[in-house]
Amino acid sequence: MVKIRKILTNFIFLALCLVWLFPIYIIIVNSFKDRQEIYNNLLALPTSLSFNFYIDAMGRMNFLNAFTNSLIVTGVSIIFIIVLTSMTAWMLVRTNNRISVLIFTIFIATMLIPFQTLMMPLMQVMSGLERNLGVSIFNNLGGLIFMNIGFGAGLAVFLFHGFIGSIPVSLEEAATIDGCTKWGVFWRIVFPMLKPVTVTVTILNVIWLWNDYLLPSLFLRNVAVRTIPLSTFSFFGQFTIEWSLAMAGLTLTVIPVIVFYLSAQKHIIKGVAAGAVK
């Protein structure tokens, strides 16, 4: 009975995995087909494995430029999010007064507000800053990075806040007695212990920032500063869709995320396990 239950459970998990991977199969398989093949049978394997659609898609997307822009936006945003939010969470945990509780509550509240409700006010405020102060926000990777830091701060502070609460204060007090400054206490004692939650924050933000389309579409109107999702959308025209190129472009978009996950898989598993213990 136990063996039958185990086989049934494995079968259910296998079926769920296949359902989960089915869209990826559709994208990869149809990236090698022309329009006629796609319309004839969406699920069938391609008759040939020509990479012409990938070459054309990379040229149309200006892939190297878009990849570089996405890499800069994702990497710089994550660095600032981790550094700023970890320090913020540490100070909020260690001060532990009404003001720190209020500030933490505000960070949590920002996670509950849908971005769609902020789109128009955000555009008006940023347009006013650019017009009155001369601060370049639109068509600028720096402006997008600034926006990403703000929108990613809430979740990161929440995760760091919960993890830092489990770190004994006695470790920081011992370092202070030994002559360590506040800056030194955080970077030498506290931050190295935040590795598991830092890995978690990094994973969540890589997935979000790399695949984000809505926010970059509002601020990056120039072709030269487009990220990969914006470049991929160029295949979806008003009256026609170039499915073969679109599928090839989407495949090129997800490959970096898959490579990142495979390269960081050991750290991801350690981070999840350590976070669960904490």
Q: Which residue has the higher pLDDT, 14 or 263?
A: 14
Q: With bands split at pLDDT 50, 70 and 90, how would you rate the model's confidence at 268? A: low
194/167 Cα distance (integer angstroms):
9
Can you give the residue ranges of every domain in the chain?
62-235
DSSP 115: G
Q: Are 57 and 248 in contact (CB under 8 A)?
A: yes
pTM value is 0.83
DSSP 31: T
The CATH number for 62-235, chosen from 1.10.10.10, 3.30.230.10, 1.10.3720.10, 3.30.310.50, is 1.10.3720.10
Residue type, 201: V
Q: Are 218 and 127 in contact (CB under 8 A)?
A: no
pLDDT digits (tens, 9 = 90+) for 19-57: 888 888 888 888 888 878 888 887 888 887 778 888 888
Phi, then psi, of 50 in degrees rounded to 5? -85, 140
Distance of CA 23 to the CA centre of its chain: 20
